[in-house]
Amino acid sequence: MSVVIYEKKDKIGYITLNRPEAMNAISSEVLNELTKAWIDVRDDPGIWVAIVTGAGERAFSAGADLKEIAKWQLEAEKEGRPMRPTWPETIPMRGLEVWKPFIAAINGIATGGGLELAMTCDLRIAADTARLGLMEVKQSLIPGWGGTQRLPRLVPFGKALEILLTGDFIDAQEALRIGLVNKVVPLAELMPTATDLANHLCENGPLAIRAAKEAAYRGVRTTLDEGLRLEGLIIGNLFQSEDVKEGPRAFAEKRKPAYKAK
C-alpha cells in the first residue's frame, strides 16, 4: 500500500499521508511521494486546490521518521560520513513553491516535520482533538523544514519562541487563538469542512487566487515599496488572461462566472 495516497475529485487534489501505524511519520519514501504529489498539483491544469491530511484519527503527522534518522546516523558514523541528513532542496517544505492553494486538514497530532508540513500549506483547519508542536529540541535538534522561519511569521514572536524552545504541545483552541490555524471543528466534520473550503476557493478566479498567493508570499519577503512593484507586475500579467474578462462580464450580466484558468 502506498505511503502517500493521492486522489483527484473535481478540481481538488487529496493528499493523504498513509502510515497510521507510525503516526504518519515522514520517512524518505513518504517525502519522495509527497513531493511527487505536490508537483502533480502544480502541473495538472485540472487541479485548482489541494487538501493535505493524515490517515487515521491519531495523527496528521508525528514528523520526520526518527527511527530512520537514527539508522542513517549509525550507518554514517560507521562509514565516516557527515552525521547531518541531506534533504533535497526542492521538497514541499523547502524550495518547492506552488501558487495553487493548499489546505491542511489536521486530524490529530502535528509535531516536528508534521507541523512544518501543515505550515507549508496556506490554510489550516484542525480537529478539536488535534495537538500541535515542534518537539525537536527534546531530541537535541531544531526544526529543519522551515519551522524556525514559518512559525514566527504566523504567530506572535514570543509565542513562537515558547513553542520552539519548550518543545511542548498546544491544543487546537490555543492554536486558533494565536492564529496558527484558521478554524477548529469536530473530527467528524474535518474533511467535509476542508472540502467545503476547497470548493469555495474553486468558485473564485483560479488565476487570481494563484496571483494573490504569489504576491503575498513573495511580497512579505521584501520591503513595502518592492512588494507594491511586484504586485503591479503580477496584476499586469493577470490582465492578459481570459478569466479577468469573464469576472466583470459575469458580474454585469448577473450570472455565475465560468472560469477556465486561462
> What does the pLDDT read at residue 89?
73
> What does the pLDDT read at residue 248?
83
* CATH superfamily membership of 4-202: 2-enoyl-CoA Hydratase; Chain A, domain 1 (3.90.226.10)
Q: How far apart are CA 183 and CA 83, in angstroms?
A: 39
Q: Where in the chain is the domain with CATH 1.10.12.10?
A: 206-252
pLDDT exceeds cutoff 80 at 141: yes
> Domain 206-252: which topology?
Lyase 2-enoyl-coa Hydratase; Chain  A, domain 2 (1.10.12)
Q: Where in the chain is the domain with CATH 3.90.226.10?
A: 4-202
The residues pairing with 52 across neighbouring beta strands, listed in sequence order, are 15, 104
Helices 206-219, 243-252: inter-axial angle, 10-degree rounding: 120
Banded pLDDT at 247 (limits 50, 70, 90): confident
Active site residue 203: no
Catalytic residue, candidates 57, 136, 214, 246: 136
Nearest residue to 127 via CA among 160, 167, 173, 163: 173
Catalytic residue, candidates 29, 116, 203, 253: 116
Question: CA neighbours within 13 Å on the CB side: how many for 217?
Answer: 18
What is the residue-averaged pLDDT of the chain? 92
Q: How far apart are CA 38 and CA 218, in angstroms?
A: 19
pLDDT exceeds cutoff 90 at 32: yes
Helices 113-120, 147-154: inter-axial angle, 10-degree rounding: 50
- Give Cβ neighbours of residue 151 (< 8 Å, ≥ 6 apart): 119, 134, 143, 160, 163, 164, 180
Active site residue 231: no
Q: What is the pTM of this model?
A: 0.92
pLDDT tens-digit readout, 181-213 = 999 999 999 999 999 999 999 999 999 999 999
pLDDT tens-digit readout, 92-116 = 998 899 999 999 999 999 999 999 9
